[in-house]
Chains A and B, each alone.
Chain A
């Protein structure tokens, strides 16, 4: 709605472009997603609950959400270290390091999946080193963790990087001249300003990990109740033509990702306001 009193846009094409946008969005995204909810509505509440609380489904949810959480937490820690090195220090190879962060974004998930499996299998470069220690990664839940760390890392780094770059280092100087130590400055001055961005990055990495399929299924072993993720269970139910089961699981996951999306939006607003206070 054009704001009264403000200048009305003189540009042409508003009606037709907005109509096309809404139509195209509905056809590609909204109607297909609506079909998912419509299909689930064919189930009674009892049937729906029976499906999503069955032991195998609950295990799949626990594995998907639990390992995704652990992986996102790992990304939060190592992502912070990587982003600190890239933004704060000058060293040879810094730009290469910076570019490397995007590899998981760019590498197709199936390629990542078979590569990680080859790397962490007992005959692999890393798996071979871990095997004598009694640590098995490939074809165990640990393998799922490795794959989810791989795909989640860029989210933390790329969310925090611009905030840390814009951070006013005068504040640190001021804190230092008042006698604060480095650790105290990091904890009391830097951390509060980048906290919203850190949490946003964490939530994005978590959301991506929960829905991830391609990079996980090769390395996971896919044992029901042990290393079977929820997206894989959807695919299995589809192949068995148990559409109701597949859609019920999908609806739970979709609602979870919408809640996460909502959380991310709140966090981003918080990031903007805390950045606004600084400037």
Chain B
């Protein structure tokens, strides 16, 4: 919003302050509204929006040709491919886990349920760096399983499995967290009816439960995917940073940036920024869908 719009709206309010006050005792005076909106817009604009604008400005600072060249680079393409693979693995894993865990937690009563939910949400409060570190301690060369893995020629750290594991860890609660409250709210009556009519458990789940939670499920998947593709700290610890092999997109951005290839770094970053924007738009649409139902 521009200042002119703000000013226009403020003066419109100024013209009839008495009437507004008569309608609502709890409305703030126009100048308070104006100041608060102005501070909110300025703060969000400078702290939140400008960084996003800078990404695209820098990405195109040498023109569209340089932008496309940076994206066509084989190492960039390899990073994009790895990011897509890792995201696919972690979304699938957390999707399955989310459905299974939400079924147990939302549809049944058992002791220790709250503790279980808290444990599932732990990854959200663990630093990404620590999320990577724990897998190095388990599977790294000096880790608990390191010698055994080396003897059997299995690479986890500095390879795809390690990157996938660390990503699954940091995105672990995303899907299940959306499903539990919704499934608890919906109760079990529809499922019980389906079972009473002779449907099998799996069929009941596929035809009754799943359609009931589909928007929340998509919502969780969306957030999980965005985080999986953008994860930096955890992946950075376990990746080994091999150009064209174990670099995901965020790691490739770092490598280009540290190598003073600023424009190329921002070009790759712009893809991730675009992903963020698309995620936000889809998220808004899904939220509207969910509040309708």
A interface residues, Cβ below 8 angstroms from B: 1-3, 6, 9-14, 17-18, 20-22, 24-25, 28-33, 35-36, 38-39, 78, 81-82, 84-86, 88-89, 91-93, 96-97, 99-104, 106-112, 114-116, 118-119, 124-126, 146, 149-150, 153, 169, 172-173, 176-177, 182, 185, 207, 210-214, 218, 231-232, 234-235, 238, 241, 243, 246-247, 250, 253-254, 257-258, 260-261, 265
Contacts and interface: CB of A to CB of B under 8 A. Distances in A.
B40 A108 contact: no
B269 A115 contact: yes
Contacts of A11: 107-108, 188, 191-192, 195, 201, 204
A125 B50 contact: yes
Contact of A103 (B25, B231, B249, B280): B280
A238 B143 CA distance: 12
B69 interface: no
A213 B128 contact: yes
Interface stretch (B70-78, B114-122, B147-155, B212-220): B114-122
B47 interface: yes
B283 A102 contact: yes
Given A10-B195, A211-B130, A150 B47 contact: yes
B52 A103 contact: yes
B135 interface: yes
Contacts of B231: 108
Given A14-B110, A32-B137, 14 more contacts: A20-B100, A33-B134, A35-B138, A100-B49, A106-B280, A109-B128, A111-B250, A111-B269, A111-B272, A125-B50, A172-B26, A213-B232, A241-B142, A253-B127
Contacts of A1: 109-111
A150 B48 contact: yes
Contacts of B221: none
Contacts of B128: 109, 211, 213-214, 231
Interface string B123-160: 10111111001111110001110000000000000000
9 contacts: A17-B100, A20-B100, A30-B119, A36-B130, A81-B40, A97-B1, A110-B254, A115-B266, A250-B129
Interface of B: 1, 5-6, 9, 24-26, 28-29, 32-33, 36-37, 39-41, 43-44, 46-52, 54-55, 58, 97, 100-101, 103-105, 107-111, 116, 118-123, 125-130, 133-138, 142-144, 165, 168-169, 172, 188, 191-192, 195, 201, 204-205, 226, 229-233, 236-237, 249-251, 253-254, 257, 262, 265-266, 269, 272-273, 275-277, 279-280, 283-284
Contact of A92 (B5, B52, B104): B5
B290 to A, nearest CB: 14
A250 B134 CA distance: 9
B26 A82 contact: no
Contact of B276 (A29, A108, A207, A241): A108
Contacts of B116: 21-22, 25
Contact of A260 (B9, B24, B125, B237): B125
Contacts, number: 293
A241 B140 CA distance: 11
A9 to B, nearest CB: 5
Contacts of B284: 99
Contacts of B237: 235, 238
Nearest to A88: B28
A247 B130 CA distance: 9
Nearest to A254: B130
Contacts of A89: 28, 33, 36-37
Contact of A250 (B133, B232, B233, B249): B133
A71 B201 CA distance: 50
Cβ-closest 4 pairs across A and B: A108-B230, A211-B127, A176-B25, A214-B232
A210 B130 CA distance: 12
Contacts of B28: 88-89, 182
Contacts of A213: 127-129, 232-233, 236
Nearest to B103: A17
A115 B279 CA distance: 19
B9 A114 contact: no
A43 B119 CA distance: 26
> Of residues A85, A108, A150, A177, which shows the largest number of chain B Cβ atoms within 10 Å of its Cβ?
A108
A236 to B, nearest CB: 10
Contacts of B109: 1-3, 6, 9
B50 A126 contact: yes
A217 to B, nearest CB: 9
B119 A107 contact: no
Contacts of A18: 104, 108, 110
